[in-house]
Structure 1
């Protein structure tokens, strides 16, 4: 038996404080593309964590360049226990500055709505209260390393090297990203982005149409070939999400572009699609095609060690009188980077709710103690394993 039920009761008794903590974080507006706002918010997030947990045993802040910094905080484990559990959180959100003024954290019974409440500021609150509860209940636990990144929503260019380095030094990576209705996420699709740019020859569409070579027409001819690269049986989807081109109704278009989103479960599929995109060619020799491919995130698939830790998740859920399933989802997270290294990661341990990136984004208040206790139980069982 774990102390997960005791952690649940403890956090349930403090749930209003957890809600107040969440309100505090939601008020800190942290859009991914605003370095200034991220820079202002991160010290406040650190101050919150230190107020709840005391000063960490180790602290490192990594410069994010034009993106949000990465904050790496480690609190020591129980005496005699070795190893570290990494809790990976991002503090950036998709919501622009000014959103919280018209949409503050709002409670309606068991439901809390607000920008970033689910994705993923509830996860930060859970991580802090998980460790606080373990300490206050005197539950043995390894060291806990909280890694806060500021560019997850825009590709984790700044965060990725620090995520991979921290995960390699940890027993497991736990990610309190939004849950799948209370289930954990063990598979996520990888992401390949591609930008296609066709350049043609402009001319007057009425006076001299044959002198031009339309970039728009060329791109329109290429798009069906792009979409045809999808393979549903292998879990590969292709979406052309943005198309732009031309300068006027009566102008043969000189430039046209499209933005492509590819999701894959099989790493080989990422290479296949990328190779096919780079092999595309225009039919009109007067036009040129540029293809820029970004292998944004590898797919997340469970390692053998992940499968073993899933058994700890199930044992903890049983101690809570519940069951926790596993789900595969199309969205990606920073867990993709960890899994691609063959390291264990349990994702989707965060809030129970719906609507990430949407105006109906919300969590349930009752889900906060449950998810916090689930994380705590996993950490406790890892401590038991470490002691043999």
Structure 2
């Protein structure tokens, strides 16, 4: 299909099958790090994706986890997504996929299985996918430790990257994202009998509590520094010998990420005899608006040609794999997946009535990139 009205009609004709596929994909659970579940989901997507692309996938296994790649010899566009979710195995039994009215719910329906269904359907609307690459990874929710190199490799050989993460609830695309850091602060103390001679111990739990209060003070403006998981001790009658504190950092600039990084690495113990060690660091630099701006203009033009409501851009506090591709300077636009909300929450949802229009929008954008490339610079996009 070359005419955008044909693309919209084609997407509308596929509306029911998209919901059916979404149900099947959500029901195929894919928890973080669960090799069996992720492999089963990869098998399903391999079949769908290879049919849509007209060529077989390369299964790239890293640390035992299966990522799916359909590279193009002369890759002008890369479609990027992930099929892992945050939900543990068995969640689907407690919370099955369902549709009420136009809203579908279920584990991973919004983040980001609806986006995958839309991407695969958009590919079927294109007359030629030979210059389109597709990468579906399975460790994004864990920070993309195994897939990052693959993502960056494929982005570097592409003219543009379109990411199928969900849009905002209002349907806005994501033109900027905060960068993020993750730290694991380990505290070493000294064990002792909590009832007989606690004074002989060095309480790692108390030291960790001091560090929780310390790291919270590193936040400034819109930079967040959040203590998250905290564990300490082994028995209720033993002074904790060790403790571990996880720290989540989000910021809009590289400079802020480095400021907090310096502060975390400069932490010192409060209790005599305790010791600290810091693991982790800066994980993703921010996705900047100037990297997304040309593609947002393209999306706005495509929406107008399709007769859809105007498309706007929004800033997102959360990070995604778009941060990696944008940091390379490759034009990147995120939020092209399902229109939904409450990702990572038990009530996450997606509006299935908007899947056809978003599918057609993505197909029209890819078609435009293949035939005419990026639009010339213009005024700043509306956000």
- The verdict on a shared fold, with TM-score over 0.5 as the criterion, is yes
Change (3 A) 1:26 1:285: same
**How far has the Cα of 1:357 moved from its partner?**
1.5
Q: In 2, are the aligned partners of 1:87 and 1:146 still within 8 Å (CA)?
A: yes
1:199-243: CA deviation from partner (whole Å, max 9, x where unpaired): 2222334433332222222222222221111111xx310111122
Q: What is the TM-score when the length of structure 2 is the normalising length?
A: 0.91
**Candidates 82, 85, 106, aligned match of 2:77:** 85
- Give distance in 2, aligned partners of 1:114 and 1:252: 43
Cross-structure match for 1:381: 368
Match of residue 63, structure 2, among 58, 62, 65? 65
Equivalent in the alignment of 1:20: 20
Shift of 1:142: 6.7
Match of 1:188 in 2: 177
Q: Distance in 2 between matches of 1:24 and 1:218?
A: 48
Q: CA RMSD in A?
A: 2.2
Q: Look up the match of 2:29.
A: 29
Say if 1:85 and 1:347 are closer, same or farther in 2 by CA, change over 3 A. same
Unpaired stretches in structure 2, ≥5 consecutive residues: 376-383
Aligned to 1:217: 206
Partner in structure 2 of residue 198 of structure 1: 187
**Is residue 50–residue 57 contact of structure 2 (8 Å, CA) maintained in 1?**
no
1:79 counterpart residue number: none
Counterpart contact for 1:88–1:147, Cα < 8 Å: yes
SS in 1 for 2:62: coil
Further displaced range: 283-292 or 329-338: 283-292
Matched with 1:283 is 270
Aligned residue-pair number: 372
CA distance in 1, matches of 2:331, 2:373: 16
Whether 1:300 aligns to 2:298 is no
Q: Distance in 2 between matches of 1:125 and 1:61?
A: 19
Cα distance in 1 for partners of 2:191, 2:77 equals 59
Going from structure 1 to structure 2, the CA distance change for 1:55 and 1:380 (only over 3 Å counts) comes to closer
1:362 to 342, 349, 354: 349
> Matched residues in 2 for 1:111 and 1:383: separation?
33
Instruction: State the 1:194 CA deviation.
Output: 1.2
Between the aligned partners of 1:237 and 1:166, the Cα distance in structure 2 is 31
Q: Kindly state the Cα deviation for residue 174 of structure 1 after the two structures are TM-superposed.
A: 0.5
Contact 2:53 2:124 in 1 (8 A): no
Q: Are 2:34 and 1:42 equivalent residues in the alignment? A: no
**SS of 2:125's equivalent?**
helix
Taking structure 1 as reference, are residues 345 and 387 closer, same or farther at Cα in structure 2, changes over 3 Å only? closer
Counting only pairs closer than 5 Å after superposition, residues 253-272 of structure 1 correspond to structure 2 as 253-272=240-259
Matched residue SS, 1:63: strand
Match of 1:309 in 2: 295
